[in-house]
């Protein structure tokens, strides 16, 4: 049996060693972590327009991803009324850097809806036409889910999507990110019907409408419903902005 003092000394030494080594490792690796995360979010944005890139995203090197992002993509930030927000105002609302890619959507969704700002990425294709990449965020079964939706220049046809999630179950809800053939279903779907905003739905048991619905995922009904809700609500936020481009 150890005395109380021995126990205290042992615990003190153990926790000091563990916390100092973990803390120094954390701050030492932080720059690399941040670089990786910035690159990862660029890749996530580009994966929505996968089919328009020169090569599959997995074959593009890290430098090439940054190059495509810097040369072919124009970043703007809009508010809920569809007006463009300048970098200083974005920075003032709490996003260091002020560009669209600097916006932390997790922070933004906590604000009242009318105060939120939205990132828009405009991809200039080599033939001169444009793709609009919009960001949406919602709730899955366990935690947040989010995604990038790329629209063709007609602003209705989806040219690609990419979803991600914080903690959905691997093999079930996580399929919204991992199952490439499920994600591919969104390509060519439309979000407007006769000029009215309609969005795209995920239907359990298989899509019945070829233009506005995609198949559900077995065992992941709640996550799939979350995707439908996220698209319906998230894309509606962009309506004022999309109207200004159309007119």
Which residues in this chain contact another protein in the complex, by CB under 8 A?
Answer: 1-2, 6-7, 10-11, 14-15, 18, 21-22, 25-26, 29, 32-33, 36-37, 39-40, 167-172, 174, 181, 218-219
124 backbone dihedrals φ, ψ, rounded to 5°: -90, 115
Q: How far is the CB of 121 from another protein (least distance, A)?
A: 21
Q: How far is the CB of 183 from another protein (least distance, A)?
A: 14
Please, which residues have CB within 8 angstroms of residue 216's CB and are 6 or more apart in sequence?
A: 202, 203, 204, 205, 206, 224
Please, which residue, 91 or 101, has the CB nearer to another protein?
101
* Cα 192 from Cα 246, distance rounded (Å): 13
Q: How far is the CB of 165 from another protein (least distance, A)?
A: 9
Please, which residue, 40 or 56, has the CB nearer to another protein?
40
Sign of CA dihedral 73, 78, 80, 81: negative
Residue 97, sorted as left (phi over 0), alpha (psi -120 to 50) or beta, turns out to be left
Please, which residue, 97 or 171, has the CB nearer to another protein?
171
Please, which residue, 14 or 84, has the CB nearer to another protein?
14
Identify the DSSP state of 50: G
Identify the DSSP state of 157: B
Q: How far is the CB of 84 from another protein (least distance, A)?
A: 32
Q: How far is the CB of 32 from another protein (least distance, A)?
A: 4
Contact between 11 and 71 under an 8 Å Cβ cutoff? The reply is no
Please, which residue, 22 or 84, has the CB nearer to another protein?
22
């Amino acid at each position: 049996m150890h005395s109380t003092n021995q126990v205290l000394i042992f615990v003190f030494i153990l926790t000091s060693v563990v916390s100092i080594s973990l803390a120094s490792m954390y701050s030492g690796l932080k720059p690399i972590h941040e670089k990786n995360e910035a690159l990862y979010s660029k890749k996530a944005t580009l994966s929505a327009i996968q089919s328009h890139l020169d090569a599959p995203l997995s074959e593009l090197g890290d430098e090439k991803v940054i190059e495509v992002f810097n040369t072919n993509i124009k970043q703007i930030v809009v508010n809920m009324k569809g007006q463009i927000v300048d970098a200083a105002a974005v920075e003032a609302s709490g996003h260091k850097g002020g560009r669209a890619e600097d916006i932390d959507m997790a922070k933004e969704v906590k604000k009242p809806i009318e105060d939120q700002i939205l990132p828009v990425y405009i991809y200039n294709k080599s033939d001169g036409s444009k793709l609009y990449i919009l960001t949406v965020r919602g709730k899955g079964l366990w935690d947040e889910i989010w995604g990038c939706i790329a629209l063709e220049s007609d602003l209705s046809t989806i040219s690609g999507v990419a979803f991600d999630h914080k903690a959905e179950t691997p093999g079930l809800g996580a399929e919204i990110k991992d199952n490439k053939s499920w994600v591919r279903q969104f390509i060519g779907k439309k979000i407007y019907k006769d000029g009215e905003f309609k969005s795209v739905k995920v239907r359990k048991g298989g899509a019945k409408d070829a233009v506005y619905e995609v198949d559900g995922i077995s065992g992941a009904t709640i996550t799939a419903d979350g995707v439908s809700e996220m698209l319906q609500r998230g894309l509606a936020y962009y309506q004022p902005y999309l109207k200004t481009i159309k007119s």
